[in-house]
Amino acid sequence: MPDLEGFTLYHRAGRDVRGDRLLPLNALRETWPDVYAREVRKYEGREALRDSVLPDLACGWGDVLFLSPVDPGPLLDVLRAAGHAAAPVRFWTLPAAALDPEHARVLLPRPWPGGVFQPHSPDDLQPFTRDVLAGACVPPAATLARLRALPPGAPLLLWADVPQVLYRGSLPLSLLREVRR
């Protein structure tokens, strides 16, 4: 079991929280169909991404929770400094050590030329280890440059090119703590 103490993961807080677990997209379809219908809209035009398979985790993209090892605060600060209106946002935090490493992988960012999804390579998924997390918790310079250069009115896609922790399964809400950034 890797030593993951001291690492924090972030997930944008849900606005319509139900039950006692944070569920991945595909589990919402069965449990809370109305919430699923709202959340699946994020993938309009990106169905290939939504339907992709993650062989390392033996599941699909919609069967994992997405957590970021990057604190969203500095990303939002860059947007605000560039003149974009970004109201404080609620996030949940979770100690990385609370995850089962066998069910987690770190997805390293891959450029999306012109905003078009590029299929992931097996090399994009790294083991959920202390060394990989240490390298993944710093905002990528390319991400900060992209956020600084966003034109007015452009979608504020905070996570498009930021490392993510993909976790197969659900998490008890009792493990999460709310912060505002």
DSSP string, 117-156: --PPPGGGEEE--HHHHHHHSSPPHHHHHHHHHPPTT---
User: What is the percent of the chain with per-residue pLDDT over 70, rounded to a whole number?
Assistant: 95
Tokens of 26: 């595909």
pLDDT value, residue 109:
85
Q: Which residues contact 11 (CB under 8 A, 6 or more apart)?
A: 22, 65, 66, 67, 68, 91, 92, 94, 176
Q: Is residue 121 part of a domain?
A: yes
Tokens of 56: 């390392």
Confidence of residue 118 (pLDDT cuts 50, 70, 90): low
Tell me how crowded residue 153 is: count the other CB atoms within 10 A of its CB: 7
CA angle 110, 114, 116 (to 5 degrees): 60
* Structural domain count, the chain: 1
Q: Is residue 119 part of a domain?
A: yes
pLDDT: which is higher, 65 or 119? 65
How large is the average pLDDT for residues 154-172?
Answer: 92
177 bridge partner residues: 93
165 bridge partner residues: 67, 106
How large is the average pLDDT for residues 59-83?
Answer: 96
Q: Is residue 114 part of a domain?
A: yes
Q: Is the dihedral of CA 180, 170, 31, 164 positive or negative?
A: positive
Confidence of residue 157 (pLDDT cuts 50, 70, 90): confident
Confidence of residue 122 (pLDDT cuts 50, 70, 90): confident
Q: Is the dihedral of CA 51, 52, 55, 61 positive or negative?
A: negative
How large is the average pLDDT for residues 58-65?
Answer: 96
Q: Is residue 24 part of a domain?
A: yes
Report the distance separating Cα 46 and Cα 4, nearest Å.
33
User: What does pLDDT average to over the chain?
Assistant: 92
Most confident of 85-94, 116-125, 137-146: 85-94
48: nearest Cα among 126, 121, 116: 116
How large is the average pLDDT for residues 87-112?
Answer: 93
Q: Is residue 2 part of a domain?
A: no
Confidence of residue 112 (pLDDT cuts 50, 70, 90): low
Does residue 148 surpass a pLDDT of 90? yes
Choice among 65-69, 115-119, 149-153 with the minimum mean pLDDT: 115-119
Q: Are 7 and 128 in contact (CB under 8 A)?
A: no
Q: What is the pTM of this model?
A: 0.92
Q: Is residue 3 part of a domain?
A: no
- Which structural domain range is residue 43 located in? 8-180
Q: Are 73 and 142 in contact (CB under 8 A)?
A: no
How large is the average pLDDT for residues 51-76?
Answer: 95
Q: Is residue 130 part of a domain?
A: yes
pLDDT value, residue 128:
98
